[in-house]
Structure 1
Amino acid sequence: MPVTITAGLDGTDHSLAAADWAAHEAARRGTALRLVYAWVWGPGDTASVGDRDAEERMVRAVLSDARSRVAAAHPALDVSTEVVVGDPVSVLVDEAARAQTLVLGSRGYGTLAGYLVGSVSLHVLRRTARPVVMVRETQPAAPAPLPSGEVVVGVQGAEAAGGPVLDFAFAAAAERDVPLRAVYAWEVPPVLIWSPGSMWVAERQGGLEPVHRQILSDALAPWREKYPRVEVAEHLGTGPASEVLLSRAEGAQLLVVGRRTHEPGVRRLGSVTHAALHHARCAVAVVPHA
């Protein structure tokens, strides 16, 4: 059973913010923190200092400084560091498999010329079967204070496949002792695709909104029972799911979204997850599910 929270560093302020977030999380859970720098040296790269030994010292200095920073904020935290030589995507996917949660910064440039850390993160998100948290805030001067606000989760329906997403979100709210806001979006279908009979049934049930409200309630029921102390606010909205979800994530400390993994050979994040990663101001947890 993994017993670490792992943060991937690349020398940017975004990855430093990821280390801060990971340290808060490890301290909260009582687990160890692992700081990893996935490094590939290329003497022809514009980002390279031109000397392998000098660049390695620079990489190790990034880890050392990050360790000192999080240790100052969390003196009792068990922190380890490692430089792992290899392709950043492959290294971070392996790290995710070993950790409870992998934490990454969402912007910045890595050591490979023209290779956006954002691109690395997207590839990692598509390939890993473990939760990954993306952190985009920058706090270069000092570690950020403990984040506040509720946990927000996007609910896709009552399918059992979405269970890992809701379990992660409920557990996160329980650990933080904050409310959970469950957001479910639906769109009114074009009238032409509805038969008169189906419209009659919907109207007999009081319209379409109660139907979707019941879908949301059914999806949450098992997790309310498992986490009875979590205060849950249900939000039902009409319109594009990404817009509805982001509108309710303002002021949240964590937004939880899912990524489907059931399609063989297809590695997609989905439009809602893409929107959350690009536009949410808080940390975003991407949880794979079948």
Structure 2
Amino acid sequence: MKDPVTVGVDGSPESRAAVAWGAQEASLRQVPLRLVHVIDWPISPAVPRLGRETAGRWADETLTEALGEVRRRHPHLEITARCLSGRPAAALAVEAADVGLLVLGSRGLGSLVGFLVGAVGTATLVATDTPVVLVRVADEPKHADPTPYGEIVVGVDTHDAPDKVLAFAFEEAARRGCALRAIHGWKLPPAYRSFPFIDSYDERAAGRSAAQLLDELLLPWRHEFPSVSVDQTAFMGSAGGQLVQAAAGADLVVVGRHLRRSPLGAHLGPVAHAVLHHATAPVAVIAHD
């Protein structure tokens, strides 16, 4: 069986948006959709009246509602639902071990503050090697009439460009028949910071070199996916802000994160962090060595 798309379901508006996006993705991939609800057990002391039986009944109702909505919109899609018990992040990470994609909701905090990934989302991200997509409520697709897909945006580090990130981005663009925009932010070598003035020629030369490296990196992927139209941008500065801006009209933003086996240290780099908390489009986080 092909690797399914799995969606974490908790009944919230963010979860419903994730279910809608995940169902559409499963349909595109022609794979089954798996809906998973995790009862956080033992129940928090903050809600002492919520017992196992009540929590189980609410979970069943939540999954039944999500199942009904997906079947109405995607009648030919193979769908299963599972209710688990345990700590949500750990349970979702285990569930993601045999799937192709895990989809979660992300809560909005306003245009200035951005989006809250939340403890469960963050813990799940760093506990699994499976690609994870965070979906915003505003991005729930409209189902009245099919519309052309927007572009896929991918952040590219030319000095540490894992194949997993580019493969995911190109495959998603090919599935949708849409364009791919590759964004790379570069910086001058640290030695230049010691000088109060930088020759503009050196800066332009560094820019040309960065653009050439990006072009060379993307060339084999262009050959492998000839149907995908690629627009590439290399600029001086951090890629985080540019990716957030590009997300405004995108179907999906793809970023990478380094796998860290140690519990110590940051598990998300500054670019991935900025995109996760401020991009308005769904964000795919691809773990890599």
TM range (shorter): 0.7 to 0.9
User: Unaligned 5+ residue runs, structure 1?
Assistant: 109-115
| In 2, Cα distance between equivalents of 1:4 and 1:38 | 18
Q: Is the 8 A contact 1:153 1:166 kept in 2?
A: yes
CA 32–209 in structure 1, closer or farther in 2 if over 3 Å, else same: same
- Distance apart, 1:187 and its partner CA: 2.8
CA 280–7 in structure 1, closer or farther in 2 if over 3 Å, else same: same
| In 2, Cα distance between equivalents of 1:270 and 1:144 | 38
Equivalent in the alignment of 1:111: none
TM-score when scaled to structure 2? 0.86
Write the letter of the residue equivalent to 1:231.
Answer: S
Equivalent in the alignment of 2:111: none
- Distance apart, 1:46 and its partner CA: 3.6
- Distance apart, 1:5 and its partner CA: 0.4
| In 2, Cα distance between equivalents of 1:52 and 1:181 | 48
CA 176–50 in structure 1, closer or farther in 2 if over 3 Å, else same: same
Equivalent in the alignment of 2:257: 259
Write the letter of the residue equivalent to 2:185.
Answer: A
| In 1, Cα distance between equivalents of 2:141 and 2:165 | 33
Q: Is the 8 A contact 1:158 1:218 kept in 2?
A: no
Write the letter of the residue equivalent to 2:100.
Answer: Q
User: Unaligned 5+ residue runs, structure 2?
Assistant: 109-115
- Distance apart, 1:205 and its partner CA: 10
RMSD, matched Cα? 2.9
CA 238–203 in structure 1, closer or farther in 2 if over 3 Å, else same: closer
Q: Is the 8 A contact 1:238 1:244 kept in 2?
A: no
CA 204–274 in structure 1, closer or farther in 2 if over 3 Å, else same: closer
Equivalent in the alignment of 2:120: 120
| In 1, Cα distance between equivalents of 2:21 and 2:80 | 16
1:95-153: CA deviation from partner (whole Å, max 9, x where unpaired):
11111000000129xxxxxxx97111101111211100000125899869767310000
Between stretches 4-13 and 235-244, larger displacement belongs to 235-244
Equivalent in the alignment of 2:288: 289
| In 1, Cα distance between equivalents of 2:259 and 2:106 | 21
Equivalent in the alignment of 1:180: 180
| In 2, Cα distance between equivalents of 1:31 and 1:43 | 34
| In 2, Cα distance between equivalents of 1:220 and 1:175 | 18
CA 57–252 in structure 1, closer or farther in 2 if over 3 Å, else same: same
Q: Is the 8 A contact 2:21 2:140 kept in 1?
A: no
Between stretches 166-175 and 259-268, larger displacement belongs to 259-268
- Secondary structure of the 2:61 match is helix
Write the letter of the residue equivalent to 1:246.
Answer: V
| In 2, Cα distance between equivalents of 1:140 and 1:210 | 39
1:99-114 to 2 correspondences below 5 Å: 99-107=99-107
2:243 paired residue among 245, 253, 256: 245
TM-score when scaled to structure 1? 0.86
- Distance apart, 1:219 and its partner CA: 1.7
1:34-183 to 2 correspondences below 5 Å: 34-42=34-42, 45-47=45-47, 50-107=50-107, 118-138=118-138, 148-159=149-160, 162-183=162-183
1:172-226: CA deviation from partner (whole Å, max 9, x where unpaired):
00000000000011234563447x9xx89x9489622101101111221221121
**How many equivalent pairs are there?**
279
